[in-house]
Amino acid sequence: MKKGRVFSGARPTGRQHIGNYLGAIQNYVKLQEEYDCIYCVVDIHALTTLEDTSMLKENTRQMMLDWLAAGLDPEKSILFIQSHVPEVTELHTLLSMVTPLGWLLRVTTFKEKAKMQPHNVNYGLVGYPVLMTADIVLYKADTVPVGEDQLPHLEIAREIVRRFNNLFGPTFPEPQAKLTSFPMVVGLDGERKMSKSYDNHIELAASPEETTQRIMTAFTDPARKFRSDPGHPEVCNIYRLHHFYTSLKLNEIAEKCKAAAIGCVECKRLLAEGINRALAPFRERRAIIAQKPGYVDEVLADGARRAHEIARVTIKEVKGKMGLP
């Protein structure tokens, strides 16, 4: 007996990095055992910030290859592309009629995005929380895995649901947050969150050589100028990454670093070995899946078909409750 239905979506950002894996994908994989899971590549959301869409298709395929190789299982979960179930845009429009504009204009991420792209403050940007709500409730999902920083978005979704249910009668479950303590994975620059846009990432599907090369050029403790200087592991990004991939005991690395008994080159080499060892099975699976002609397309088509079956029932119910002729 499953505990409920989970929905989560992610933008098609192409090949995933270890920050994506540690922060979301590994949790998606675990949730499959306890919940009915629906995982969606939100390509329409991507249009709110993307002006060049030429890579959307390829990025979606690459991301899906990573998801599948990481353990998302189309037998257990529905995996699909947001725009392949067009009812979501219909529900977005209907929900927008019960969403006061003031709620949306107050959303912090809208203000931030409007500042970041002043030349392109499009309607989709302000309507983003309504589309996100439609994503969740179209499938009557009751559980949404989120980090603390995403709670305000989910709260808007819950407010929209409450308002709709008050106006038209109980229709949607109020989605509950499944709070997960996502580790904040800092990038190889040692300063910012790991992200492709900062080019401070390690792709899950990178070759062992590329992984090692990127780690060897990463920033470490800025105060440690010479091999003989004692290090400060607590401020070192390589040490943080050892938390996830070390082959040694963490306190052993910390003690050796503080006593200058290990150099940064050696420490990075150990980390690269640890990451390459941990990712070897993933990389093997990914290569096998990538060689199966048409497999990713088949998974996505089957996911869209199963998502569509749920979506059309919901839309029929919503239109009926709203009194549409």
Region of 67-75, 150-158, 187-195, 217-225 interacting with ligand SF4 (CB under 6 A) = 217-225
Contacts of ligand SF4 in 150-189 (CB under 6 A): none
Strands (E) across the chain are located at 5-10, 36-41, 77-81, 143-146, 176-179
| Amino acid letter, residue 89 | T
List the one residue from 81, 267, 300, 318 that touches ligand SF4 (CB under 6 A). 267
Cβ contact 53:22 at 8 Å? no
CB of 238 to ligand SF4, least distance (A): 4
Site membership for ligand SF4, residue 233 (CB under 6 A): yes
* Nearer to ligand SF4 among residue 12 and residue 274 (C-beta): 274
CB of 266 to ligand SF4, least distance (A): 7
Comparing CA positions, the residue from 9, 265, 289, 304 lying closest to residue 150 is: 9
Region of 151-159, 256-264, 278-286, 305-313 interacting with ligand SF4 (CB under 6 A) = 256-264
Site membership for ligand SF4, residue 241 (CB under 6 A): no
Handedness of CA 276, 278, 282, 285 (dihedral sign): positive
List the one residue from 130, 257, 307, 311 that touches ligand SF4 (CB under 6 A). 257
Active site includes 113?
yes
Choose the catalytic residue: 76, 193, 258, 319. Answer: 193
Site membership for ligand SF4, residue 262 (CB under 6 A): yes
Site membership for ligand SF4, residue 8 (CB under 6 A): no
Choose the catalytic residue: 76, 196, 258, 321. Answer: 196
CB of 194 to ligand SF4, least distance (A): 17
List the Cα angle 104/119/83 in 5-degree steps: 60
Site membership for ligand SF4, residue 236 (CB under 6 A): yes
* Nearer to ligand SF4 among residue 267 and residue 311 (C-beta): 267
Comparing CA positions, the residue from 174, 205, 176, 188 lying closest to residue 285 is: 205
C-alpha to C-alpha distance for 44 and 34, rounded to whole angstroms: 28
Number of residues that bind ligand SF4 (CB under 6 A): 14
Residue 73 CA neighbour count, 13 Å, CB half: 10
* Nearer to ligand SF4 among residue 71 and residue 190 (C-beta): 190
Residue carrying structure tokens 């037998």 = 75
Site membership for ligand SF4, residue 22 (CB under 6 A): no
Active site includes 196?
yes
Region of 101-109, 187-195, 263-271, 275-283 interacting with ligand SF4 (CB under 6 A) = 263-271
List the Cα angle 191/196/202 in 5-degree steps: 80
Distances (CA, A) of 170 to 98, 144, 158, 212, 323: 15, 20, 13, 55, 14
- Spell 135-153 as b/e; 16+ CB within 10 A means b: bbbbbbbbbbbbbeebeeb
Catalytic positions, written as ranges:
113, 193, 196
**Interaction site with ligand SF4 (CB under 6 A):** 220-221, 224, 231, 233, 236, 238-239, 253, 257, 262, 264, 267-268
